[in-house]
Structure 1
């Protein structure tokens, strides 16, 4: 029986060499020895189990030599042994060839690489992040004849391991190489907890999820803990950084306590517009929204303030609370105008849309989670998803104008010092 199986493996290796060419097979084999499963995944799925076994037989031939001309008399060939490898997102049965040396069993390097579970956990995680429930994984892997041993409990364990690894990577990564131009702050509520999340835009226009901090509610203390965590990991939060927030009182208080009059704060214009409209009867809401939008679209600071002051007077006649809501944020919604920010960059930083878009991805990725089982699970998933989001980030629109805006900031602060 052993000879029959061994003969079958040798025939498979020869068949692939004939079909693909000996040179190409040697190239694939070398790459798999060097990089393991990563290299194999790109070529193996169509060829499947047969190619995996062929590669292992080819390695055995390289180590021990052919039967008629052994290269090392101290190494002897055995039969085969049942085993399993991870290929793509499937766990496959294989028969791996055996070798024995003076000190006992010799494990093939290719088999050792292919049976590692790390890559399998990563791929399961990627599928889960795309909305695939771990409870339904056994329905999606398909081709049951080629796959085996993927139980719900196994999938859950792999996901826990992978998300824990991602969370550690996210919370421990060094931020000292990031020079922030803007930091967007917002809160996402998950499983009964509030997570204040920071999204950074560096001086080159690249976006980076910087960190998060969990609390029962959004408050100044939790926000300060987040700032402390970012600074411990090397991020420099200075008076040159523009902070974009949705209007949460806790976040704004923490920022004002930290930076005082030097704070560069841009209130989200979309949130402020909605807040104003909530105070108004329905028949006035469309006009108030259009008027506010017209003010924000102004290029010059004086034009924007003139429109907003006119809007405040109009609102005062209809609803004083709506007018007060506008008045308390009047200076903070035009910070982008005060910095003479060009149009494309204003479109990015006049609101918290960039971080809201990231939160949308978080919700999509977690849509199959029915219940969070404690803080550890909430944090594991959030850290993993934020890293997943980062892969799809593009530079912000208008990033070429960031250097000019920074010069404006430096010039304005220099004038303030001279005036003081």
Structure 2
């Protein structure tokens, strides 16, 4: 590439009265825009084979000069340029294509920073301080909006017909809606397929968590091809059992033991907390369900009169809490808590912690999707001991998975 001579550089500095780095950046921005504009016009001249051409344009009101006005991102920030068009619309510029809004890698950087939970203002500051680029909030929003169709395609992709284990839980955020700030739930589903690979099957934004909305999530999974779920791990939300039973009546439900313990200790005074927690442990650490029931009876003898609500809660939820007792240790360890999806939520919170309020459901969905893709990229291996787990599942559910095994 040809270089400017020292005399040309001195003339450039003098003609543009450059005194600061901001002056240099501004002058280079204008020079880049003028050069780009000239290249576009030269490209059209070369295509048509003559200098004086009459061109009309259907994309802009500036039809007299036949140019399309557009704003693009460059190394120097946002540039307003005019892209020439021929009268027939056959000419497609190669330098700045018809729908191109970016002529640099800055767009990828914006999306990468957005996926880490960096605010619009901080993205602006970063690009300005590091590159001297001025980018407006509107441009940042337009760049991140490009992933919305990708999210919709991902959210509606076909799923596998059978999942060995599915984890369901919601994470809560504050979102602006009709001028008010409301609580919204992001409904998340993680599935482990018969190959032992885990994936986020989808995310849905709705009002505060409810079994009715979870039913719509389950129906969506069914519409996307999920015919059967062997084991569904959930927290202790009221109505979860009925919602799962309505969509997947054969599915075994495992309510999270850790959630049950947390809910139990809500009723306990601080002075009894350690003792109650210690006396609950033998119940879910028992070797068999029968042994667990005996430990439950012992707990009631000691604490039943003082904390009857704890006893009642364990009795009422026992069928779903005790599901894991029928499985060997490898499966028990996998399903007795919802730790897998809670770990995923912790990674999402690292990204979203800087956002106390989201301006819209779409803004929340964009950030959660980008953060999720970062998480999924790290899920490269199968679930630990999957060979042994699959063998055991084939014994417990022979008719439901035999057609899906090699």
Q: TM-score, normalising length from structure 2?
A: 0.68
Q: Which residue of 1 aligns with 2:153?
A: 169
Q: What's the CA shift for 1:338?
A: 0.9
Between the aligned partners of 2:291 and 2:107, the Cα distance in structure 1 is 56
Q: Which residue of 1 aligns with 2:162?
A: 179
Which runs of structure 2 are paired with 1:321-360 in the superposition (5 Å)?
321-342=309-330, 345-360=331-346
Q: Which residue of 1 aligns with 2:138?
A: 153
Q: Which consecutive residues of structure 1, in runs of 5 or more, have no partner in the other structure?
A: 1-5, 10-48, 54-59, 61-73, 77-83, 95-105, 415-420
Asked whether 1:380 is paired with 2:369, we answer: no
Q: Which consecutive residues of structure 2, in runs of 5 or more, have no partner in the other structure?
A: 5-27, 33-38, 40-47, 51-70, 80-90, 175-182, 402-406
Between the aligned partners of 1:121 and 1:168, the Cα distance in structure 2 is 20
Between the aligned partners of 2:283 and 2:356, the Cα distance in structure 1 is 43
* Cα deviation digits, residues 192-222 of structure 1 (max 9, x gap): 1223321111122221111233332333321
- 2:113 pairs with 127, 130, 136, which one? 127
Between the aligned partners of 1:375 and 1:139, the Cα distance in structure 2 is 25
Between the aligned partners of 1:383 and 1:353, the Cα distance in structure 2 is 20
Between the aligned partners of 1:233 and 1:268, the Cα distance in structure 2 is 26
Q: Does the Cα contact within 8 Å between 2:115 and 2:367 map onto a contact in 1?
A: no
Q: What's the CA shift for 1:358?
A: 1.6
Q: Which residue of 2 aligns with 1:12?
A: none
Between the aligned partners of 1:381 and 1:361, the Cα distance in structure 2 is 12
Asked whether 1:281 is paired with 2:269, we answer: yes
Per the alignment, in what secondary structure is the counterpart of residue 331 of structure 1?
A: helix
Q: What's the CA shift for 1:184?
A: 0.8
Per the alignment, in what secondary structure is the counterpart of residue 141 of structure 1?
A: helix
Asked whether 1:235 is paired with 2:222, we answer: no
Q: What's the CA shift for 1:142?
A: 5.5
Q: Which residue of 1 aligns with 2:44?
A: none
Q: What's the CA shift for 1:335?
A: 1.3
Q: Which residue of 2 aligns with 1:250?
A: 239
Q: What's the CA shift for 1:328?
A: 1.4
Q: Does the Cα contact within 8 Å between 1:218 and 1:251 map onto a contact in 2?
A: no
Between the aligned partners of 1:377 and 1:232, the Cα distance in structure 2 is 26
Per the alignment, in what secondary structure is the counterpart of residue 209 of structure 2?
A: coil
Q: Does the Cα contact within 8 Å between 1:312 and 1:326 map onto a contact in 2?
A: no
Q: Which residue of 1 aligns with 2:123?
A: 137
- Describe the shift of the 1:125–1:331 C-alpha distance in structure 2 as closer, same or farther (beyond 3 A): same
Number of residue pairs aligned between Structure 1 and Structure 2: 335
Between the aligned partners of 1:148 and 1:195, the Cα distance in structure 2 is 35
* Cα deviation digits, residues 115-161 of structure 1 (max 9, x gap): 763964443222122232111113223556x54342333223212x1
Q: Which residue of 1 aligns with 2:18?
A: none
Q: What's the CA shift for 1:107?
A: 8.7
Q: Which residue of 2 aligns with 1:302?
A: 290
Q: What's the CA shift for 1:252?
A: 2.2
Per the alignment, in what secondary structure is the counterpart of residue 190 of structure 2?
A: strand
Aligned-residue CA RMSD (Å): 4.3
Q: Does the Cα contact within 8 Å between 1:213 and 1:223 map onto a contact in 2?
A: no
- Describe the shift of the 1:408–1:280 C-alpha distance in structure 2 as closer, same or farther (beyond 3 A): farther
- Describe the shift of the 1:384–1:281 C-alpha distance in structure 2 as closer, same or farther (beyond 3 A): same
* Cα deviation digits, residues 164-195 of structure 1 (max 9, x gap): 134213212221x3631111111222221223
Q: TM-score, normalising length from structure 1?
A: 0.66
Between the aligned partners of 1:250 and 1:197, the Cα distance in structure 2 is 17
Q: Which residue of 2 aligns with 1:369?
A: 355
Between the aligned partners of 1:302 and 1:408, the Cα distance in structure 2 is 22
- 1:190 pairs with 157, 167, 173, which one? 173
